[in-house]
Chains A and B, each alone.
Chain A
């Protein structure tokens, strides 16, 4: 689960990680009021969306008057911000963070994430702050410093010092920096984060070190132990159909093509998306109904696929294991009776109870294009495109 910068900074404050003074605003008036109570000028107004690269899209602005704060907030609130990470459709701005401006001496990068290959958490730092760490890793890997963490002993003092000294921090700042790094790991570990990132971490002319930005991604699978963090979820940041699918425990991701898919299993669903592309069409969604799907889940899945106006055809690809083909077939027939489908549906069933599933489809009185293999399904999708 992603959370906003202002929410991450509140968590940082709770863990004694220094951040600029500031607060979130939902209106220009509120933004101006916040600025009046903060040290300044200058002030910084930052759009709060779940995507990075905001500076490049005009989502971070500095101003020298409180009226300027109000005007900037007015311009940002309601705008659709397009950044390198939002995709061309952009994201609507509903909140802004108003902060004190700082006299920055130098910018750094510091983050904690999971090293999948090394099977351990890793703290990553760089003296090249502000740059995207992935870009840096690709172009100048020698500028990235890493400390692998042994979860048995935790993040050690010497590791914090290794990072601080290698970053070339001023000797007077080492103590504050190492404390900050240790606290970052505390956040990562205590809250079951999949990533904690500060980009940039800054030193200021007046000798402070602060998290100028804050990004926290939480492990969805661990949210059951952090009930208080669940409230930080912002449903406005999700696609409306993805939100609806979530209610029925359906794993749906909206894409920009025109052939909808319903599949059991994530790997097979990805392979089915690829098959659609190879057949000359484009997938409209990813939908994994899971191994234990019920008739109701299949019906809801159908409704959600059809709620996307771009969908011109549907491919259902089920390899029956735990989810039996007859259960799926009943769900499809049930859905077809309740929903006005209006687009051609290719159904490919195989595996457990396949004969019964195919018989249910054939005798339903409904028109399905039944495919008997993956290769045949691809051919029938190609046919949809030609129609």
Chain B
């Protein structure tokens, strides 16, 4: 098992004919993902390496039974693409696009809830269930199937963590990048709830960063409800206040959202916090194999 996606997932790629979309579609296919359709308005009838391209998500779903969507649409049109996926009955939407206006996302989130659609991202590396399905832009070969769930607000930092886990002999059930924006579809708690129910996940690595209070909420949830061991790391101990550190959501404002507070909250919630990133693999092995 795994969460969100598995070997039975039928993936649709929105923005499949663009530069990023076509490159990563081929990477997902090479990993073994079942990519059943692509959508680019105006390019219906074409194909990418035999994958049929449709003008609308509705038609793609009707004709191919796609249940999961991966979005590479440019930021000005991405919110609309997410809404289109939800309205067409897609169950899980993974949006890679960076730079979507916050106001657009504030409209998208309640609409998705109404349609029972789960969004991962935006501004994220996507989701991978190693050995089964890759719906994202992460490098496939660093992953190994195994019992550790990974959830993170970051991209390359997650690759670093996964790489260390794999090198330490710890494979992963599913790795989820929830995204670096202030308004995202799924929070740490949303993903932890799924890992809690997943019998193939025996422990979780949670990678946070400065800004917002999602790590604090996750820590409270872990303390009250989460039955499995959690290893945590928070980036940005040296980040100055008031400066946006690359991710739109990574900002310490008015003294709140600091790494120090998040680490303290995690510890209070029973999370084993790793301070030095270089030690993560080693500490994970000690925690999860004890």
Where the two chains meet, the residues of A that have a C-beta atom closer than 8 Å to any C-beta of B are: 85, 114, 116-117, 119-121, 132-134, 137-138, 150-152, 189, 192, 194, 219-222, 224-225, 251, 253, 255, 263-271, 273-278, 282-283, 286, 288, 291, 319-322, 350-352, 373-378
Q: Smallest Cβ distance from A192 to chain B, in angstroms?
A: 5
| Number of B positions contacting A (CB below 8 A) | 63
* CB nearest neighbor in A for B177: A267
**A267-B154 in contact (CB<8A):** yes
**Is B157 among interface residues, defined by CB-CB distance under 8 A?**
yes
**Is B102 among interface residues, defined by CB-CB distance under 8 A?**
yes
- A266-B103 contact given A85-B242, A116-B213, A375-B279, CB 8 Å threshold: no
- A267-B156 contact given A114-B106, A119-B106, A222-B101, CB 8 Å threshold: yes
**Is B138 among interface residues, defined by CB-CB distance under 8 A?**
yes
Cβ-closest 10 pairs across A and B: A267-B154, A266-B246, A134-B254, A265-B156, A375-B278, A267-B157, A222-B101, A374-B278, A270-B235, A270-B236
Chain A residues lying within 8 Å of B137, measured Cβ to Cβ, are 291, 321-322
Give the residue of A270, A319, A322 whose beta carbon is less than 8 angstroms from that of B245: A270
**Is B87 among interface residues, defined by CB-CB distance under 8 A?**
no
- How far is it, in angstroms, between the C-alpha of A224 and the C-alpha of B76 when the chains are bound? 8
- Could you mark each residue 38-76 of chain B with 1 if its beta carbon is under 8 Å from any beta carbon of chain A, else 0? 000000000000000000000000000000000000011
**Is B270 among interface residues, defined by CB-CB distance under 8 A?**
no
- How far is it, in angstroms, between the C-alpha of A109 and the C-alpha of B23 when the chains are bound? 50
**Is B22 among interface residues, defined by CB-CB distance under 8 A?**
no
Give the residue of A150, A319, A378 whose beta carbon is less than 8 angstroms from that of B160: A319
**A192-B155 in contact (CB<8A):** no
**B246-A286 in contact (CB<8A):** yes
Of A222, A276, A283, A288, chain B has the most CB atoms within 10 Å of the CB of A222
Give the residue of A116, A253, A291, A373 whose beta carbon is less than 8 angstroms from that of B243: A253
**Is B197 among interface residues, defined by CB-CB distance under 8 A?**
no
**Is B83 among interface residues, defined by CB-CB distance under 8 A?**
no
CB contacts under 8 Å to A, within B233-265, are: 233, 235-240, 242-243, 245-250, 253-256, 259
CB contacts under 8 Å to A, within B65-120, are: 75-76, 99-104, 106-107, 109-110
- Could you mark each residue 142-166 of chain B with 1 if its beta carbon is under 8 Å from any beta carbon of chain A, else 0? 1000000000111111111001100
- How far is it, in angstroms, between the C-alpha of A121 and the C-alpha of B102 when the chains are bound? 10
Chain B residues lying within 8 Å of A320, measured Cβ to Cβ, are 139
**B182-A321 in contact (CB<8A):** no
Chain B residues lying within 8 Å of A274, measured Cβ to Cβ, are 235-238, 259, 277
